[in-house]
Amino acid sequence: MGLLHRQLALAALNANAFHPPRGLRSGVYAFAAGWLTTELAPQLLGLTALDAATHPPRAGDRSRAAGLALAAANAAALGVMVAQAQRARGGVETALTDALGVDYVEQLDQAPTPADLALPWRQLATPLRVFRRGPDGVQVERDIAYADAGRRTMLDVYRPSEPVHPGGAPVLLQVHGGAWRVGSKETQAVPLMQHLASKGWVCVAINYRLAPRDPWPAHIVDVKRAIAWVRQHIGAYGGDPSYLAITGGSAGGHLAALAALTPGDPDFQPGFEDADTHVEAAVPHYGVYDFAGATGLPRAIRMRDRFLGPLILRRRFADDPAPFEAASPLLRITPDAPDFLVLHGTADSLVDVEQARLFVDRLREVSDRSVVYAELPGAQHAFDTLPSIRSAHVVRAIDRYLHWHWNGWRGRPVGDSPAEVAEDQS
């Protein structure tokens, strides 16, 4: 493949990244290409520059001249993507200050330093390395059973090698995505869990049963079982069972939001109805919040009728709407909803960003707790899966949010260190 053909292919990827198709089927293909293009834009920019540098102009070679011109245009487009990703830092910080107040950082153990906010360029240069080796000081214990369905009900625990919080560390439960049909605990939110574990948190990543072998509501039942397991057993891993936040992306964002909004729902807790399944905070990413099509959004209705009904719930909405409504976080919001930080990208070709906007509007209308919404321009679905400029800024913002929330939850006076709090409580 020559220079011109390579640059034509890259131009097509760039066009898809900026303007992805939004159809139910075409959106899947647009997502796969757009996600990699937007999050790996710095690497693609470097390769484009190298491609152009190694193919200097040659007299009379119109193909090469066209390829070099297209390479310049591609480099400009990739530069825009890099700039968009960099602006995520300011965007998520604005979302936090708008919802929590400009003084929210006073509730942190310490205000973030420039070093805390700096991008981990070594990690970003080799993004796949995060799945092979985590940061020093973090250990992972894998394949712990929380229920009896084999590998689909196992979990991994990420924790600091040396405990940081003597009174028990705050806990984050991670629910993977994958359209309720695929996915695994080892492949998603790894940068977030490694980062938080390095800061003293205990993070739990779970598998859960998948459709079509196990139709709905097996997925949410397993998430509830995992929450109950954490409440009962996480103390043995250094976690504080009284504080649990939940997160997840895509299908995992749906499950995290639904679990947060339905503590103790007996329909989702068969055989363990009395288990404590509440959470203190929820951080769903690019989630599906409307199973029932209650928003009236055309894409939500198409997803309901062409995908969720036949493949996940194994029933038709027209025949039995109640399960779709019960599975819709948008329809389960009450004044008792926990605190939420919701994240979604404007270029998401799989789940309409309008779902997140309407979900947040409803939360702010009904809930008595705080609601933070960070909308990320140019971000595709699954923007946080790999270490990237955007995901690094998002991870650090979630770090600040969760530390703010945890410190407020335990009533730590501003300025006291965790050790001082533990001493005061002893």
Give pairs for 242-245: CB < 8 Å, separation 24+: 242/168, 243/170, 243/171, 243/280, 243/406, 243/409, 243/410, 244/171, 244/172, 244/173, 244/279, 244/280, 245/170, 245/171, 245/172, 245/173, 245/279, 245/280, 245/281, 245/282, 245/283, 245/402, 245/405, 245/406
Q: What integer is the mean pLDDT of 144-165?
A: 95
Side chain identity, residue 356 = A
Q: Which residues participate in catalysis according to the annotation? A: 250, 348, 381
Q: Say if residue 423's pLDDT is above 50.
A: no
| Total-model pTM | 0.93
CA gap 104, 301 in Å, rounded: 39
Is pLDDT larger for residue 70 or for residue 114?
A: 70
Q: Say if residue 129's pLDDT is above 80.
A: no
19-23, 247-251, 317-321, 324-328: which has the minimum mean pLDDT? 19-23
pLDDT in tens, 159-180: 999 888 888 999 999 999 999 9
CA gap 19, 347 in Å, rounded: 7
CA gap 199, 266 in Å, rounded: 36
Q: What percent of the chain has pLDDT over 70?
A: 96
Give Cα 58 to chain centroid, integer Å.
47
> 247 with 256: CB under 8 angstroms?
yes
SS3 351: coil
pLDDT band at 113 (very low <50, low <70, confident <90, very high): confident
CA dihedral 332, 334, 337, 339 (to 10 degrees): 100
Q: How many Cα atoms within 13 Å fall on the side-chain side of residue 68?
A: 13
Q: How many Cα atoms within 13 Å fall on the side-chain side of residue 186?
A: 12
Q: What integer is the mean pLDDT of 380-387?
A: 94
What are the backbone dihedrals phi and psi of residue 172, each rounded to the nearest 5 degrees, phi first? -120, 130
> 44 with 11: CB under 8 angstroms?
no
Q: Say if residue 248's pLDDT is above 70.
A: yes
Helices (H), 101-206: 114-117, 121-125, 190-198
CA gap 393, 379 in Å, rounded: 13
pLDDT computed for residue 327 by the predictor: 98
User: What integer best gives the mean pLDDT of the chain?
Assistant: 93
Q: Say if residue 386's pLDDT is above 70.
A: yes
pLDDT computed for residue 414 by the predictor: 37
pLDDT computed for residue 133 by the predictor: 66
pLDDT in tens, 20-63: 998 888 999 999 999 999 999 999 999 999 999 999 998 888 89
SS3 170: strand
pLDDT computed for residue 424 by the predictor: 46
Is pLDDT larger for residue 415 or for residue 387?
A: 387
Q: What integer is the mean pLDDT of 136-152?
A: 95
Q: Say if residue 254's pLDDT is above 90.
A: yes
pLDDT computed for residue 119 by the predictor: 82
pLDDT computed for residue 420 by the predictor: 43
CA gap 236, 75 in Å, rounded: 51
Closest CA to 145 of 233, 270, 216: 233
Strand order in the sheet with 202-206: 138-145, 154-160, 202-206, 169-175, 239-249, 281-285, 339-345, 371-376
> 185 with 176: CB under 8 angstroms?
yes
Q: Say if residue 406's pLDDT is above 60.
A: yes
pLDDT band at 118 (very low <50, low <70, confident <90, very high): confident
pLDDT computed for residue 191 by the predictor: 93
Helices (H), 330-379: 353-366
pLDDT computed for residue 127 by the predictor: 77
